[in-house]
Amino acid sequence: MSPTRSCIGLVAGLLAGAVGAERALVDYRVERDAVPAPLAGRTGDAVRGEAIVRDRRNGNCLACHALPLDEPSQGEIGPALTGIGARLAAGQIRLRLVDQRLLNPDTLMPPYHRIDGLVDVAPEYAGQPALDAQEIEDVVAYLSSLTTP
């Protein structure tokens, strides 16, 4: 199976595997390469964000990214996220989580807060983003805290 095809399957699995109550999209504003304002005015919690990053069903970040965690089987498809908080501002991280395709239309990174144009989404998750506004902000808080290279 080609890397592109397997990543498409991973995206479908991520979106189909979203856990929890119905999730709702919230509006956001993009400025250059960032979503500068927290989604829905939420404040993120880094501890909850780390749990989402570690969760192999909900966030599943470790399927593609390596992080400074003592977790086995970390991914190598996406960039390593060690020190990401020193390289990118919170708004830049937020945009990449919301929809990396706004920066790179050819990315393999799934959109975590977009629903249009997605394929192979399980019916029970159709019309819902993979992460809600609070979860996005929690992951932003965690990733922003990773400032050591």
Joined tokens for residue 40: 């829905």
For the whole prediction, is pTM greater than 0.75?
yes
- % residues pLDDT > 90 (the chain): 70
Q: Residue 17 to residues 60, 66, 78, 124, 146: CA-CA distances in angstroms?
A: 9, 21, 20, 10, 26
Domains of the chain: residue spans and CATH: 3-144 (1.10.760.10)
Q: Are 85 and 143 in contact (CB under 8 A)?
A: yes
pLDDT at 124: 81
Q: pLDDT tens for residues 83-94?
A: 999 999 999 999
Confidence of residue 2 (pLDDT cuts 50, 70, 90): very low
